[in-house]
Chain A
């Protein structure tokens, strides 16, 4: 059993053949091509970090291959002043939001600390499953209190919907009519636990109703559908009409992380079914139909993206690692004697 419901019944603009089956959002050719490029960048970056991890040049990493339409579509409608708060899975969404590629790669050298530029309005990636949704709601509430017309987007996976925090975030978002969009990338699995063992609800989107939060079920491999649903919900939130829950139906093609072995729990046939729904191929068919893309242009674009990633890897690997004693810099705003003593202790051993 893949899921108890299908992408076909979800909101779709492009079917797997790239044929138009819904209202196409009004986007310039440049925007469309930019989104296509972001999707390739997401895929190639994901593959690159996994390769680096295998060589001992990167720490644990979770692939986003297969989820490019969701990753890009959920961030593309956001304005610079909007906030994005996510788990470890949405790194490509952060790039769209303005996080520099080299900064992102640097973090996988085991130095998460020099964080994202604050002006990108992204909190650091969240490791604790689901908890970031409450932060997104809090940001949205704060904006409302201050009268700032911004929107916060909180993103998580399907497993996260089982946590208390997910349910509390929805409840608060509804009660306070917070200008927030909560997005679930339902990629079928939470490590080895399939979606149908996560909740008995027919859809995750269906759970919005119980909290008084309008919700949408969207084909997460259709970048135009994701973009369109997101931009409507973001506009609604900005207009003061409150939160939306969006479920993006997608699939994790790779392992959960570089530490995971999916052959222990997943039928390989399932992966083939989903490969046929590849989000990049689907979008490409649409762009080809509009004469914006062809095989040659695509190969050139992919080459360009790979060169950009390789340059960013070089840049990230040339960055100096933060000194070990920096661990004392960020625990508190101001140093105090005890921590200074411990810093001296560490310095003593570093000098040895």
Chain B
């Protein structure tokens, strides 16, 4: 079946609701409205208000009560309408959900999934597009998933719901309807913590996730056309846990690495990956690791976002620097 990411996510949620009685969906406008992006379209009609329900407009309460539901044995899948509003639930996420297992020495887990759209390029108002994954990277106890395609989104969401730990599942708004892909009708899973080599190459490695995978692939193509150099592209798919084995194997092979993310530069995923590459691949490295990222300013106004989000030109430049002898 050819599906968009929105449709693939909708299928994944329907399959999990069908398969596991414990799964409940909660959030703002997810019922009759089907979510502002229609990810939960028709699900309340199919599964009833007991399993799929609208909540009052309170992010902290959505996550806080999900922690309680999870402790009691449900599998809540909470939607936070836009990623910037995760900040309002930060205390529940960081001080509670992330630590439930640790605090109770394993007596209680917190099998909670928090879905939230984010990402630039769609002209949303302030705080809608912000990339918060770096914040969660600094939150032990939580897993962070960022799919880049409909196929991955469906398989990763099934795994996230099945996972015994809290998972933040970030959906890039630009990917929601930008392309269709063949997606199996039945349930399947993709393991969390496993990166995907989306393009093989031998001269340089580009490490990306989410909407930046498309940008990285285009940059790789252009470099290959221009210089004949072959560029490998890795889609992390989850930024925590990080698939260090795939990253190090690739960089050991190519000797050059470019990391691409939309989130601000300072202290982000790029910084963590650079450290890992230095620690594990130093003697294979032929050039310093390059980072192509958002800038260290608050996510700018809609009229400026194209200048903020890394584009193909910025990635090809970084690749050229990395590939120069």
Task: Give A contacts to B, CB under 8 Å.
Answer: 59-60, 88, 109-113, 127-130, 159-160, 162-164, 190-193, 197-199, 259-260, 264-265, 321-322, 324, 326-328, 330-331, 338-339, 342, 345-346, 349-350, 352
Contact = CB atoms under 8 A, between A and B. Distances in A.
A327 B61 contact: no
8 contacts: A128-B88, A162-B58, A192-B54, A264-B32, A265-B32, A327-B297, A342-B295, A352-B313
B53 to A, nearest CB: 9
Given A339-B295, A339-B297, 20 more contacts: A59-B123, A110-B302, A111-B303, A127-B127, A128-B85, A128-B127, A164-B61, A190-B28, A190-B57, A192-B31, A193-B56, A193-B57, A259-B36, A264-B34, A265-B32, A327-B297, A327-B304, A345-B295, A349-B313, A350-B307
A112 B126 contact: yes
Contacts of B61: 162, 164
A197 B56 contact: yes
Interface of B: 28-29, 31-34, 36, 54, 56-61, 84-85, 87-88, 123-128, 265-266, 295-298, 300-304, 307-308, 313-314
Contacts of B298: 331
Contacts of B126: 112, 127
A346 B307 contact: yes
B295 A328 contact: yes
A163 B56 CA distance: 8
- Dominant secondary structure of chain B at its interface with chain A: loop
Nearest to B266: A338
Nearest to A336: B296
Contacts of B303: 109-111, 321-322
Contacts, number: 112
B234 to A, nearest CB: 24
Q: Helix, strand, loop or mixed for chain A's interface?
A: loop
Nearest to B125: A127
Contacts of A191: 28-29, 33, 36
A320 to B, nearest CB: 12
Nearest to A338: B296
B56 A60 contact: no
Contacts of B84: 127-128
A338 B29 CA distance: 41
Nearest to A265: B32
A324 B125 contact: no
A110 B33 contact: no
B312 to A, nearest CB: 11
B31 A324 contact: no
Contact of A163 (B57, B127, B302): B57
Contacts of B36: 191, 259-260
Nearest to B91: A164
B88 A163 contact: yes
B296 to A, nearest CB: 6
B296 A327 contact: no
Contacts of A324: 300, 304, 307
A73 to B, nearest CB: 24
A135 to B, nearest CB: 15
A60 B58 contact: no
A128 B87 CA distance: 10
Given A264-B34, A338-B266, A346 B295 contact: yes
A192 B297 contact: no
B288 to A, nearest CB: 15
